[in-house]
Amino acid sequence: MTTWSELRRGAVLFEDEAALVLAKPPGIAVMGERHGTDLVRLAEEAGETLFPAHRIDKNTSGAILFAKRLEFHGDLTRQFNKRTVDKAYLAVTASTGLPERGRITLPFSVGRKNRVRVAGNRSDIGFDAQRSRWSLAPGTEFGHVRTYPSDTGFARAWHDDRHTLLVVVPHTGRRHQIRVHLAWIGHPILGDPLFDKNAEAAGLRTFLHSWRLAFDAAWAGGARVEVLAPPGPDFWQPVTPPPSDELLDRTYHRLREDDAQVDVPDDDATDDALSDDIRPGDLRPGDGAPRRTGGRRRPPHRHRGRSGSS
């Protein structure tokens, strides 16, 4: 197991007096790991206390934001709750045939064994080619369980005859949202153990990467901080040759232009069993309640890391 000092040394994407953004390697949880260690525990054992502002899955690599002091935690988590944080992921699917751009608006529910699933039957999922959109047929959303509006946009950056590289923006913040949405439209992420039972035995990582993150630094007058986490070489193994940074940036900005026209469903994450957000109750006992800091919005500071995995 890598020590905290070794992991931290090679993974800092942004750091100031209040916040820390790390490039998380795949295979280690952010917090709450029951049968092993996680980033918060590793840091604590090394004498550093960190407060996660959000979650990314254990199998996902890339940018993860922490508050370094509890007084800044509440403001950061509220930005995720209110969807004012910009997030973008890179995903490699074990498939081809996806359109240049697409939107998935399939609601979620909780199924057997507490697993996240689409709140409808696969046979009722339809694709509107004109709008490049997947949704459930009218009247087919489950009515016997609580459901959660879920919305994901993507743009295709690269493909060959076996795989597709996507830039993905989750407009809502559900647990396993990107993984479940892509799998349920028939395009699962390569190496995802939720949908490929042989992935771990084959030594495959999950090819999902938290690539871009932008948030407001209230403690710095509201300055917008933009962080880029380039994937490591392991992520690019099925993508040969890897696309240029310029191509990825163009794909991302085209997707964001499309997003400006998106009518995102109401996403109240304050009382949501499927939320990916961190809430004060998720902190360890004795940490106390976060409090808000204020500030005005200023032009962004951009930070580019060296690698998104190690």
**What pLDDT tens digit does each residue of the chain (310 aa) get?**
679 999 999 999 999 999 999 999 999 999 988 878 899 999 999 999 999 999 999 999 999 999 999 999 999 999 999 999 999 999 999 999 999 999 999 999 999 988 999 999 999 999 999 999 999 999 999 999 999 999 999 999 999 999 999 999 999 999 999 999 999 999 999 999 999 999 888 889 999 999 999 999 999 999 999 999 999 999 999 999 999 999 999 999 999 998 777 676 665 554 566 777 776 556 654 333 333 333 334 455 666 664 433 3
- Tell me what pLDDT residue 264 has: 67
pTM above 0.85, yes or no: yes
Q: What's the pLDDT score for residue 295?
A: 39
Q: Which CATH superfamily is domain 4-304 in?
A: Pseudouridine synthase (3.30.2350.10)
pLDDT at 203: 86
Say what the pLDDT of residue 200 is: 83
What pLDDT sits at residue 310? 31
What is the SS3 assignment for 186-249? CCCECCCCCCCCCCCCCCCCCCEEEEEEEEEEHHHCCEEEEEECCCCHHHHCCCCCCCCHHHHH
In this structure, the dihedral spanned by the alpha carbons of residues 237, 239, 242 and 247, taken in order and rounded to 10 degrees, is -150
Domain residue ranges of the chain, discontinuous segments joined by +: 4-304
Structure tokens at 248: 């990825």
Distance CA 34, CA 37 (A): 8
**pLDDT (0 to 100) of residue 9:** 92
Place of tokens 């630094």: 217
Instruction: Read off the pLDDT of residues 140-160 as tens digits, 9 standing for 90 and up.
Output: 999 999 999 999 999 999 999
97-117 per-position pLDDT tens digit: 999 999 999 999 999 988 999
The pLDDT assigned to 14 comes to 98
Alpha-helical (H) ranges within 17-114 are: 39-45, 70-81
